[in-house]
Homo-oligomer: A and B are copies of this chain.
């Protein structure tokens, strides 16, 4: 979510900041997609927006994929592409599947925290 701020003294709007986003949420989303089949950065970008409701910064996505490879969750190989530039194709690893599992459990906990907050908020509103 993007927030724009209004300076209360001069009325000028200043920098917008992130709020409410789940840190590195894109990584389990990528791994979930890859667990269904190998893919490449550009293709993942399209699938992430379609299936995960995630708008992705493409530069961030490529950097994230390299980081995930460094961490051992995915592996990559260059794939010849006659219809355009060659592609770096990513495949999920055993460690990647393990991380996906722990990420799911972590996100379940996060989900509970958010629920707890929303319940408290709604209770407070009706009071």
Residues of chain A touching chain B, judged by Cβ–Cβ distance below 8 Å, are 1, 3, 5, 8, 17-25, 27-29, 32, 35-36, 51-54, 71-72, 95, 99-100, 102-104, 106-118, 120-121, 124
Main secondary structure on A side of the interface with B: helix
Are B51 and A113 touching (Cβ within 8 A)?
no
Do A19 and B8 contact each other (CB < 8 Å), given the known contacts A32-B124, A54-B113, A117-B107?
Answer: no
A51 contacts which chain B residues (CB < 8 A)? 120
A-B contact pairs, 25 of them (CB 8 A): A1-B110, A3-B99, A8-B72, A18-B23, A19-B23, A19-B27, A19-B103, A20-B23, A20-B24, A20-B103, A22-B110, A25-B114, A25-B117, A28-B121, A32-B120, A52-B120, A53-B112, A54-B113, A100-B121, A104-B118, A107-B114, A107-B118, A108-B118, A111-B115, A111-B118
